[in-house]
Chain A
Amino acid sequence: MTENKELTQLGKNIRKDFPFYKNNPNISYLDSAATSLVPRDVINKIIYYYESLGVSVHRGVYQLAAKTSEIYEDARKKIKHFLSAGSEYEIIFTRNTTEAINLIAYSFEKAKDELNELFSGWKGGLKTGDIVLISESEHHSNIIPWQIISERTGIKIKYIPIVKETGALDITAFNKIKNDLDDKDVKIISLAQVSNVTGIVYDLKPFISYAREKGSVFIVDGAQSVCHQKINLSDLSPDFFVFSAHKMLGPKGIGALCGKKEILNKMPVFLGGGDMILSVNKEKSTYNEIPYKFEAGTPNISAVFGFSAAIDYLEKIGLQNISDWEKKLTLYAMEKLSEINIQFFGPSLEQVKSNEFKKVGVVSFGINGIHPHDIGTLLDENNVCIRVGHHCCQLLMKAWDVPATCRASFYLYNDFEDVDNLINGLRKTIEFFGTHNS
């Protein structure tokens, strides 16, 4: 049983790799869906860059510059390998998932006939009445950029509704939407692979099939999926896959856009400046090839180094191990939470247990009569950090008709003890408000 042996190495046993725990030994950090903790290896790699290299990429003729560029470019290869992305894909470094989606949206706004050949539905660009299809459970970062370009182009945003009880995408409603959109040009379909509120792993296959049918661009928001499970882009084959390093043990402020080269090659540029040009003339300049075409200015080199180290660390531990460990914690948490008077937002314990729903280590819940902010404050008093609020998913909250939920999220460094601390904190919270209730 090697698998079990490896499993026992996670949780408390790997906290020695995370300096956070040295400084915060008593904290139960259950907010990794917001941002993850960072292992020593990642911090060391950032320090290595600043202490041993510290120079820019792509420009210097000296050896230090060459070495920096080599490690920087090597990170791209590593990311592609990590995503099982074939040679048809290229990696563009961005600040985060949000910036990656904005890059695509702003470039598409400018794209006219360039993309006609690649997408039969493109037909010369975004026009009044054209459709961008997203879902009610999207993070604001996959809503607002489309709203911004919708104001300027007249495109309409259509939302795939959710099934209220589980938070899953409503396939029946989607089939109806397909009928309604029969005579419309669906230009873009952009969906998260994993919900940051319910933790549901969506099956994106029916949506990508529809995208291919309609000749639409298909974008996957991988911010919440890439950290929890092995991604296989060769299998799914989306046009774009976007994600951030900071949710997968990497540094803040660096993310990636993994896109198909043939599309990126034809897309209009996003930001202009250094590194993205080949030759500059007074009137008009020629742009560099991808990926540089989309990376204007000196990049966050140290963060790319850290990003690369985060991938090394994740691969060393193994994403399957992480996923198995999270599942144990999630089921344990849901079982314990079921024993107290809480309401789940998302699939039920039975639905997760029976594998009816595939779910990562994210559990949303509420307690009748106690506002999530009061719960969050009282849990903090018990050294338990969870997220309370709308989780940048106000449309989902509206669909549920709640202002906010509590969300506990688990990652490889969490342990059963953290769940116990959460439950104890919640019991105290209920007691605190309950006593005053009577």
Chain B
Amino acid sequence: MSVDELYREVILDHFQNPRNKGHLKTCDFHEKGENPLCGDSIDLYFIFDNDIIKDIKFEGNGCSISQASVSMMTEAIKGKPIKEIKAIIELFKEMMLEDKINPFKDNFDLEDLGALEGVKNYPVRIKCALLAWNTLSELFKKIAEKKP
């Protein structure tokens, strides 16, 4: 177990050059996520086109893992329908919380997500990697509850 496993190049790249970072003034949904114990926080802004996430932006503060993870997530889900995204959330959580090996290995689109696999070896940091994904799940729950 080495720290390079945790802080892979691609993670540091997302941390230092975050994708989709910013604010959406007019958006369909805004969801806030926090890890109060470590002070990681994110704000997710969404524009939907029916079931598809047409645009997503995030603002956030926190450790490199939490901020890289949210950056990766926005890239992974932008332009995709909720159903497909839910499947990605499932895969991601399985990778982080269960003993599943990286399911994104040969998926060009989602390859970056696999870099977070190394966080598993640092149990106290798993919640940092999951923050964005739990926040997204919360939003989907709310959307599902609203629907008749």
User: What is the interface of chain A, defined by CB distance below 8 A to chain B?
Assistant: 370-374, 377-378, 381, 389-390, 394, 397, 402-404, 432-433, 436-437
Nearest-neighbor residue (CB-CB) of B36 within chain A: A394
Nearest-neighbor residue (CB-CB) of B122 within chain A: A377
> Are the CB atoms of B63 and A373 closer together than 8 Å?
yes
> Are the CB atoms of A436 and B39 closer together than 8 Å?
no
Chain B residues within 8 Å of A389, by CB? 37-39
> Are the CB atoms of B125 and A377 closer together than 8 Å?
yes
Chain A residues within 8 Å of B36, by CB? 394
> Are the CB atoms of B39 and A437 closer together than 8 Å?
no
> In whole angstroms, what is the CA distance A374 to B38 when docked?
11
Q: Which 7 pairs across A and B sit closest by C-beta, in order of nearness?
A: A403-B39, A371-B63, A373-B63, A436-B12, A381-B3, A404-B39, A374-B63
Q: A371-B63, A371-B64, A374-B64 are in contact. Are A403 and B40 (CB under 8 A)?
A: yes
B62 adjacent to chain A (CB < 8 Å): yes
Query: Main secondary structure on chain B at its contact with chain A?
Result: mixed
> In whole angstroms, what is the CA distance A238 to B141 when docked?
53
> Are the CB atoms of A404 and B6 closer together than 8 Å?
no
Interface hub of A394, A397, A403 (most chain B Cβ within 10 A): A403
Q: 4 other contacts beyond A372-B63, A397-B39, with CB at 8 A cut-off?
A: A373-B125, A374-B7, A381-B3, A404-B38
B contact residues, range: 20 to 34
> In whole angstroms, what is the CA distance A104 to B118 when docked?
47
Q: A371-B64, A374-B63 are in contact. Are A437 and B38 (CB under 8 A)?
A: no
Nearest-neighbor residue (CB-CB) of B62 within chain A: A371
Chain A residues within 8 Å of B128, by CB? 373
Chain A residues within 8 Å of B12, by CB? 433, 436
Count of CB-CB pairs between chains A and B under 8 Å: 47
> 21 pairs across A/B with beta carbons < 8 Å?
A370-B64, A371-B63, A371-B64, A373-B62, A373-B128, A374-B65, A377-B6, A377-B122, A378-B3, A381-B2, A381-B3, A394-B36, A397-B39, A403-B38, A403-B40, A403-B41, A403-B61, A404-B38, A432-B7, A433-B64, A436-B9
Query: A-facing mask of B1-19, CB < 8 A → 1, else 0?
Result: 0110011010011001000
Chain B residues within 8 Å of A403, by CB? 38-41, 61-62
A364 to chain B, nearest CB (A): 14
> Are the CB atoms of A373 and B3 closer together than 8 Å?
no
> In whole angstroms, what is the CA distance A377 to B125 when docked?
9
> In whole angstroms, what is the CA distance A403 to B2 when docked?
27
Nearest-neighbor residue (CB-CB) of B128 within chain A: A373
> In whole angstroms, what is the CA distance A262 to B143 when docked?
61
Chain A residues within 8 Å of B2, by CB? 381
Contact of B39 among A377, A390, A433 (CB under 8 A): A390
Chain A residues within 8 Å of B63, by CB? 371-374
B7 to chain A, nearest CB (A): 7
> In whole angstroms, what is the CA distance A378 to B5 when docked?
12
B124 to chain A, nearest CB (A): 8
> In whole angstroms, what is the CA distance A322 to B20 when docked?
53
Chain A residues within 8 Å of B37, by CB? 389-390
Chain B residues within 8 Å of A374, by CB? 7, 63-65
> Are the CB atoms of B6 and A436 closer together than 8 Å?
no
B145 to chain A, nearest CB (A): 30
A404 to chain B, nearest CB (A): 5
> In whole angstroms, what is the CA distance A38 to B37 when docked?
27
Chain A residues within 8 Å of B41, by CB? 403
Interface hub of A389, A433, A436 (most chain B Cβ within 10 A): A436
Chain B residues within 8 Å of A404, by CB? 38-39
Nearest-neighbor residue (CB-CB) of A402 within chain B: B39
B118 to chain A, nearest CB (A): 12
> In whole angstroms, what is the CA distance A331 to B16 when docked?
34
> Are the CB atoms of B38 and A373 closer together than 8 Å?
yes
> In whole angstroms, what is the CA distance A403 to B41 when docked?
9
> In whole angstroms, what is the CA distance A137 to B3 when docked?
34
Chain B residues within 8 Å of A402, by CB? 39
> In whole angstroms, what is the CA distance A15 to B3 when docked?
29
Nearest-neighbor residue (CB-CB) of B12 within chain A: A436
Chain B residues within 8 Å of A373, by CB? 38, 62-63, 65, 125, 128
Chain B residues within 8 Å of A437, by CB? 16
Chain A residues within 8 Å of B65, by CB? 373-374
> In whole angstroms, what is the CA distance A406 to B10 when docked?
26
> Are the CB atoms of B62 and A436 closer together than 8 Å?
no
Chain B residues within 8 Å of A397, by CB? 39
> In whole angstroms, what is the CA distance A345 to B98 when docked?
39
Nearest-neighbor residue (CB-CB) of B38 within chain A: A373
> In whole angstroms, what is the CA distance A378 to B37 when docked?
19
Q: A397-B39, A403-B38, A437-B16 are in contact. Are A377 and B61 (CB under 8 A)?
A: no
Chain A residues within 8 Å of B62, by CB? 371, 373, 403
Nearest-neighbor residue (CB-CB) of A371 within chain B: B63
> In whole angstroms, what is the CA distance A374 to B129 when docked?
13
> In whole angstroms, what is the CA distance A370 to B63 when docked?
7
> In whole angstroms, what is the CA distance A88 to B7 when docked?
58
> In whole angstroms, what is the CA distance A115 to B118 when docked?
59
Chain B residues within 8 Å of A370, by CB? 64
**B9-34: which residues lie under 8 A (CB-CB) from chain A?**
9, 12-13, 16
> In whole angstroms, what is the CA distance A390 to B39 when docked?
8
